[in-house]
A and B are shown apart, each in its own frame.
Chain A
Amino acid sequence: SAVISQKPSRDICQRGTSLTIQCQVDSQVTMMFWYRQQPGQSLTLIATANQGSEATYESGFVIDKFPISRPNLTFSTLTVSNMSPEDSSIYLCSDGGRQGTGITDTQYFGPGTRLTVL
C-alpha cells in the first residue's frame, strides 16, 4: 500500500488568511486528488492535480479559492485562500495511480488536515 503524508495535521486559522497544505507520496504517481470532508459529511472531490499541467477543478471549486501546485510526481500542495468559517473541514489528498506500474484502481489517502477557521 502507499504511504501518503500531509502537513499540517491540523490548524486553527483566522478568517481572511490562507493556509497551504502539503501532500507527499512515497512513490511517483500520475495523478493526485484533493478532497474536502465537511463535518459529518462524505468526501467531495475538489480537484485533480496533474504534474506539468494546471489542476482540473470540480463544479463549485475555483482556482482562486483553492490554488494547487504539482511540481513533481510525488508532491502537491493545496492552498485554502481567504478563509471563512465555512472552510472548516478535513482536507485529504489521495493518489490516483502509480507511475511505471500501470494505473492501479486502488486509491490511497493521506491522514488529512483538520482545518478550523475562526
Chain B
Amino acid sequence: GNSVTQMEGPVTLSEEAFLTINCTYTATGYPSLFWYVQYPGEGLQLLLKATKADDKGSNKGFEATYRKETTSFHLEKGSVQVSDSAVYFCALRNQAGTALIFGKGTTLSVSS
C-alpha cells in the first residue's frame, strides 16, 4: 500500500541553523509529493510540491527534491527562523483526484 514515513520529532534548532526533515515514501506508480505546514492554531497550508522525479519544489526558503531512486522527499532550509516553528507534514498523492496520504508530522521548534 501507499505510505509516508517522516522522521520523529520534535526537532529543536537555534535561529539560522540548517534544517533537514527526512521523508520517505512507498507507493505504486509515480506519486506527486508534498510538504504541508501547520502553524500553531492555524490550518494546513501547502508549502511546496513536486510532481515527478528530480523535480525540486521550493517556497519561503524551503526546498525538497523528488528522489525516485531513494523514494525520498527530504525538506531542507539553509537558515531557519523563529517564525518557522510549526508542524510539517510530508504527503503523497498517487493519482490525480485521490486523497492525500500523510506522514505523522514533525514538530519544529526554533529558538532565538
Contact = CB atoms under 8 A, between A and B. Distances in A.
A96 B105 contact: no
A105 B49 contact: yes
Contact of B43 (A31, A106, A112): A112
Nearest to A58: B99
Contacts, number: 55
Interface stretch (B14-22, B74-82, B89-97): B89-97
B96 A92 contact: no
B27 interface: no
A103 B22 CA distance: 29
A65 B51 CA distance: 35
Interface residues of A, number: 23
Interface residues of B, number: 22
Contact of A105 (B96, B102, B103, B105): B96
B99 A33 contact: yes
Interface in A85-118: 92, 94, 96-97, 103-112
A43 interface: yes
A45 interface: yes
Nearest to B98: A96
Interface of A: 1, 30-31, 33, 41-43, 45, 48, 92, 94, 96-97, 103-112
